[in-house]
Amino acid sequence: MNSVKNQEQKSEARRKPETSIKENADVKKVAAPNRTFDVNPLQEQLDAQKDKYMRLMAEFDNFKKRTAVEFAKTAGSANKALIHDLIEIREAFERALDAKTESEANANAFKDGVQLIFNKFDAVLTKHGLESFGEVGEKFDPALHDAMMKQPNAEIPEEHVSAIFERGYKLKDGIIRHAKVAVSAGS
């Protein structure tokens, strides 16, 4: 029975920590067997690291805000160049609309003028990276085309575009709008 009590006392002693922490209002010291540590230098180092961390977080937050402003300015300047080029075309359309078409000869001249404006407009869009796609006879590609219907067509092979409802557009390898097409079902 004595051995059982001895074992219980030993297990209870294992559960109690060997070290004790003593706190003084002026100086914090941790007492361990055979050693005493001054906690103040460690607290100072911790405070310095916290301050450094907080400054770094504030700097990173400022960096994010600056980057967002710079990105908005860059996007605005890119749009500014495009709009500048489109102003000339807008003015050409205004002049065309102000022209009077009283005779058939004037109507043909008006049509030619509008065609010139369209060509200039298309050149500006191409200059800024816009590319149109969607031609009758090309192979149907679901990544580029939206099939609106499938219809029999003896002249165009199966799974090829047989009609274009709306052209598709890419801007520097990114698709802006898929082409809306009819797909041939063959004969």
124-183 confidence digits (pLDDT tens):
888 888 888 888 989 998 998 999 999 898 888 889 999 999 888 888 778 888 899 999
Residue that wins the pLDDT comparison between 160 and 4:
160
Domain contains 157: yes
Domain that holds residue 172: 132-187
Per-residue pLDDT, 172: 79
Domain contains 184: yes
173: CATH: 2.30.22.10
19: pLDDT strictly greater than 50: no
Banded model confidence at residue 29, pLDDT cuts 50, 70, 90:
low
- What total number of domains does the chain contain? 1
Edge-to-edge strand ranges of the sheet holding 130-133 = 130-133, 168-171, 174-177
- Beta carbons within 10 angstroms of residue 170's beta carbon: 15
Q: Beta partners for 160? A: 139
26: pLDDT strictly greater than 50: no
12: pLDDT strictly greater than 80: no
For 32-81, the pLDDT digits (tens) are 567 777 778 888 999 999 999 999 999 999 999 999 999 888 877 777 77
DSSP 8-state symbol, 178 = P
Domain contains 137: yes
Alpha helices in 24-129 (DSSP H): 40-98, 104-127
The pTM assigned to this predicted structure is: 0.50
